Amino acid sequence: MKKVTLILPFLILGLSFILINCTKDKTTAPIVSNFITADCPDTIKFVKDIMPIISDNCTSCHANGQSPQISDYATVSANAEKILNSFTGSNGLPFMPQGGNAVNDSLIQKFKCWISQGKLNN
Ligand code: HEC
């Protein structure tokens, strides 16, 4: 009996911890979940691979006052997850390019790889 009274507080503590963790808001983390590096055999280059996607499809609006500003390494990397989700209109982001054709799947794949490789400025 004594053992039970000793263990009880810890049990309650443990249970409430689990409960709190489970009910915690699952944040709207966009992302490249379970993305495996095997899908990205090549190192993606920002200048050669990523910036052209943005220049071809986005800067006509997003380097000219439309928020978010996405016009260079700093602004593209800071908004990378939003940009990725906007390519498909996922996770609450509006589909982009607005009024245009979807960015090609292979380019979206490159963008994902660039993020999973740590958004290199190369
Ligand atoms: C023709 C102009 C235009 C083009 C081109 C365009 N956008 Fe947009 N974008 C907008 C407008 C207008 C909004 C704000 C309205 C809205 O949220 O629907 C917006 C909103 C966004 C947002 C949401 C910002 C937020 O925090 O809610 C993202 C991210 C975005 N654009 C990314 C892109 C990307 C990436 C491209 C290129 C693939 C692109 N846009 C091309 C006009 C454009």
Residue 84 lies in a domain: yes
Buried b (16+ CB within 10 A) or exposed e, 51-88: bebbeebbbebbeeeeeebbbeeebbbebbeebbbbbe
* Atom number of ligand 1 nearest to Cα 99: 1
pTM for the predicted model, two decimal places? 0.78
Residue 20 lies in a domain: no
What pLDDT does residue 65 have?
94
Residue 86 lies in a domain: yes
Residue 95 lies in a domain: yes
Residues having CB within 6 Å of any atom of ligand 1: 57-58, 60-62, 66, 68, 82-83, 86, 93-94, 96-100, 103
Residue 25 lies in a domain: no
Residue 80 lies in a domain: yes
* C-alpha 12 – ligand 1 centre gap (Å): 49
Residue 98 lies in a domain: yes
Residue 64 lies in a domain: yes
Say how many domains are in the chain: 1
What is the chain's pLDDT, residue by residue, as a tens digit (122 residues)?
566 677 666 766 655 555 555 555 544 444 554 455 668 989 999 999 999 999 999 999 999 899 999 999 999 999 999 999 999 999 999 999 999 999 999 999 999 999 999 999 99
